[in-house]
Amino acid sequence: FSLQPKKVKLQLRLGQSKPIYKKIDGLPATALGLVAQTTVSKGHENATAENGPWMITLDAPSFIFVMQHARNCAFHEEVYRAYITQASNGDLDNTPIINQILKLRLKKAKLLNYNNYAEV
């Protein structure tokens, strides 16, 4: 009996987030290149640094590029709000999954005769 496969599946869902497609005024060419690579890896094989489309994900590099360089205040705010609420509302609400992971961790700790997961 193993809890690990279920836990891994739940944690994979935690990493999923809603992408944002926008013209990114102010991002340097190197940042646009990295964003274009991400976009290509997500299935838009014709994405380029020069012409897009650009897919801003909520991973650290994309988020930091936007926070440091984006000139459009509304876009800056949109990405910031998406980042701070990721996986916590709407269709992407992972609160039940987080609660399941915590329960599985506690169950694992109890099976190993520990009081909590931190002791494991």
Give residue-wise pLDDT tens across range 59-94.
888 889 889 998 888 888 888 888 888 877 777 788
With a cut of 70, list the residues of the chain below it in pLDDT: 1-23
Q: Provide the whole-model pTM.
A: 0.58
Q: What angle do CA 12, 15, 18 make, to 5 degrees?
A: 125
- Residue-level pLDDT at 111: 96
- Residue-level pLDDT at 107: 96
Q: Are residues 102 and 69 both part of a single domain? A: no
Q: Are residues 78 and 108 both part of a single domain? A: no
How crowded is residue 40: how many other Cβ atoms within 10 Å of its Cβ? 14
Structural domain of residue 101, as residue ranges? 1-16+94-120
Q: Are residues 70 and 112 both part of a single domain? A: no
Q: Are residues 67 and 42 both part of a single domain? A: yes
Token pair of 55, please? 């897919």
* Number of structural domains found in the chain: 2
The DSSP call for residue 88 is S
